Amino acid sequence: MSAETTVFTGTGRRKTATARIRITEGTGKLIANGRTFDDYFSHENFAKQAYIPLLTVEMKDKIDVTANIAGGGVAGQAGAVAHGIARALQKLNPELRAALKKAGHLMRDPREKERKKPGQPGARKRFQFSKR
């Protein structure tokens, strides 16, 4: 039998992306949908944005992260993963809340795409005005 490990979960959201995060104590493995963060996120900036809460609390090499990501694009998914990791870290150790909150990792980014309005080509764009 394997030794029991405690798993902490967190759900992160941004735009239309949702990330279900599972963290366990480990060696710093970062897995997103079965691939490493560096492989999954197309650019290193997105991968770094995804695990920035771990750098804030200096636990990158002590925590293993498994992320199940759905919806949205690359930027939204990276933000959702960061939000989920921050929430899971807060469950792991409630004392980390102050540092995570100060850095702004616990706040969900509320910005969403604005809907298209009828009689217009987009959400805000208008058809060209013609006086005559």
Q: Are 11 and 84 in contact, with CB atoms under 8 Å apart?
A: yes
Please list, in sequence order, all residues whose beta carbon lies within 8 angstroms of the beta carbon of residue 104, skipping any fewer than 6 positions away. none
SS3 119: coil
Does residue 93 lie within any of the structural domains? yes
Tokens representing 48 are 């770094």
Structural domain count, the chain: 1
Does residue 120 lie within any of the structural domains? no
Q: Are 52 and 114 in contact, with CB atoms under 8 Å apart?
A: no
Query: Across the chain, what does the average pLDDT equal?
Result: 93
Enclosing domain of residue 54: 8-103
pLDDT in tens, 52-94: 999 999 999 999 999 999 999 999 999 999 999 999 999 999 9
Q: Which pTM was predicted?
A: 0.89
Does residue 116 lie within any of the structural domains? no
Does residue 2 lie within any of the structural domains? no
Average pLDDT of 24-43? Answer: 93
Does residue 33 lie within any of the structural domains? yes
CATH, residue 27: 3.30.230.10
Does residue 23 lie within any of the structural domains? yes
Does residue 73 lie within any of the structural domains? yes
Instruction: Give strand pairing partners of 67.
Output: 21, 32
Does residue 37 lie within any of the structural domains? yes
